[in-house]
Amino acid sequence: MARMKFICDSERCIECNGCVTACKAEHDIPWGVNRRRVVTLNDGVPGERSISVACMHCSDAPCMAVCPVDCFYRTDEGVVLHDKDVCIGCGYCSYACPFGAPQFPGTGTFGMRGKMDKCTFCAGGPETNGSQAEFEKYGRNRLSEGKLPACAEMCSTKALLGGDGDVVADIFRTRVLSRGKGSEVWGWGTAYGKPTTGTPKPEEKATKS
C-alpha cells in the first residue's frame, strides 16, 4: 500500500475555507485550535495563490525527532499520529514543524498550554477505533470507517486531494498535463522528500510537456 498523502492544488484553491470548517465540525475542534488553515500569498494582488495547510504527515517527521517523551508514531499507511496521554505539551514539535501543524489549546488554568493537537488524517489515535475516548481526544476516525479525510472529501473545487499517494498523484498529474501548468505543490518536497530516480514525478512530466 502506498502512503497516505495530501496534495493541495494552488491553481484550484479559492480560499473558501470549506476544508477548515469541515475539519472543525468533523472533529469538534475547540476555539483557538485550527488543525487546518488556508494560507494566501500576495493576497489582493492579481495572481494571488492560496493553499490549504495542515500536518503533511512527513516521511521524516521533525516533530517525531524532537519529541522528548516519544509520543509520536507512524502508522502502516504513513500517517503521523501521537498519544495525548504521553504528550507533556512542551511545544518542541511546534518549533520543529515547518508547516505550523501542532496546535495547543489555551483553555488551561492561567492560559496554560494543553496537550498538543494536530491533523490526524482523520485516523484518530491509539484508542480503540471509533470509540468515544478516541473521539474526545483526537476526533473522528474516518479511515477505519472506510472514508478519506473530511477536508479533502468536502473540498468543492477538489483542490485538496487526500488518500493513497499513488492515486492522488495520478489525479494531479492528469490535471497538470491537461492544463499545462501548476505543477508546483508547496511543501511537497519538504514533507515527502525530493523525487528519487525511477518513475517521473508529476512536476517533472509537467515541465516537459
Interface positions with other proteins (CB under 8 A) = 1, 69-71, 73, 75-77, 79, 81, 83, 85-86, 123, 125-131, 141, 143-148, 152-153, 158, 161-164, 167-168, 170-171, 174-175, 178
- For residue 179, the surrounding DSSP H or E stretch is helix 165-179
Output the smallest distance, CB 86 to other proteins, in A: 5
Would you say 40 and 49 are in contact if contact means Cβ atoms under 8 Å apart?
yes
Minimum CB separation of residue 97 from other proteins in Å reads 19
H/E run at residue 117: none
- How many CB atoms are located within 10 Å of the residue 126 CB? 16
Nearer to other proteins, 11 or 77 (CB): 77
Q: How far is the CB of 133 from other proteins (least distance, A)?
A: 11
Phi first, then psi: what are they for 103, rounded to 5°? -120, 150
Nearest approach, Cβ of 63 to other proteins (angstroms)? 14
Query: Whose Cβ is closer to other proteins: residue 41's or residue 167's?
Result: 167
The residue (of 50 and 141) whose beta carbon lies closer to other proteins is 141
Query: Residue 204's closest CA among 99, 6, 8, 185?
Result: 185
Question: Between 44 and 68, whose beta carbon lies closer to other proteins?
Answer: 68
Judge whether 126 and 84 are in contact, CB under 8 Å. no
Least Å from the CB of residue 88 to other proteins: 11
C-alpha cell at 65: 525527532
For other proteins, the closer CB: 38 or 87: 87
H-helix segments, 30-164 = 62-66, 92-96, 132-138, 150-154
* DSSP three-state, residue 52: strand
